[in-house]
Amino acid sequence: MLEIIQLSPKTDNGYFVVKYIKKVLKSPVFWIVIVYTIFLAYSTHIEDPKEIPYPIAQINFKTSRKYISSNYAASSRLGNHLFELASVLSISRDLNRVPIFFIEDCYHEKMWEDTNNLIPGLMNQFLVINGSVPRAIRRTSFHEKCCTFDNPSVLKENKDEYLHLKGTHYQSWKYFSQMRNELLGFLKTPVNNFFYLPVSSESTFV
């Protein structure tokens, strides 16, 4: 409880203020209010809790390989995910780099789960790392405009061990035009739960 100090006419104002502040700072109620205020201010600045970044990923540097990752639009839908992952995989092969998928927050985790359920063969091509992209990795500008095609050959001059692209979506079939059959092979084999229904034949179509 805060102590109320009666100020007499003879009390020095400066001395009273200092003494009162000291008593306030010793009060647990004061610190509870401060902590709650900070928490409230922080929480109101977070537009979406799912975007809270995971801890920085622990990775090795100065390895014998070169890697590539991207700023995926993880909060988008599955169709966007397939474009992004197929494009980055194709680009990684053009540049002879290992594709990385950083699980940076809840959206990236959901992106990995949804894609892996539908087309697990695609996710198996990536080195999946749990954590946010380390700050030591330089971000590289590439495909920052929607629905365009940037030639990946412009990235060949980049000698960074870890190449992290700033682009998202990669909504152009040109990135993976040569991978059609391979991508179809990555699809999960469907389970026939309706074996009792009629099926198509050479003479009929159901």
User: Looking at the structure, do residues 81 and 41 belong to the same domain, yes or no?
Assistant: no
pLDDT in tens, 77-127: 999 999 999 999 999 999 999 999 999 999 999 999 999 999 999 999 999
Residue 141 lies in a domain: yes
Residue 61 lies in a domain: no
User: Looking at the structure, do residues 84 and 176 belong to the same domain, yes or no?
Assistant: yes
User: Looking at the structure, do residues 29 and 111 belong to the same domain, yes or no?
Assistant: no
Tell me the pLDDT of the chain averaged across its residues: 85
User: Looking at the structure, do residues 145 and 100 belong to the same domain, yes or no?
Assistant: yes
Residue 58 lies in a domain: no
User: Looking at the structure, do residues 181 and 118 belong to the same domain, yes or no?
Assistant: yes
- pLDDT of the residue at 13: 58
Contact partners, residue 151, CB within 8 Å, separation at least 6: none
d(CA 91, CA 67): 11
HSE at residue 96, side-chain half, CA atoms within 13 A, is: 6
Total domains in the chain come to 2
37 has a pLDDT exceeding 90: no
pLDDT in tens, 61-76: 999 999 999 999 999 9
* Percent of residues, the chain, with pLDDT higher than 90: 62
Higher-confidence position of 26 and 89: 89
Q: Which residues pair with 132 in a beta bridge?
A: 56
Backbone angles phi, psi at 151, to 5 degrees: -65, 120
By residue range, what is the domain housing residue 103?
67-186
User: Looking at the structure, do residues 32 and 82 belong to the same domain, yes or no?
Assistant: no
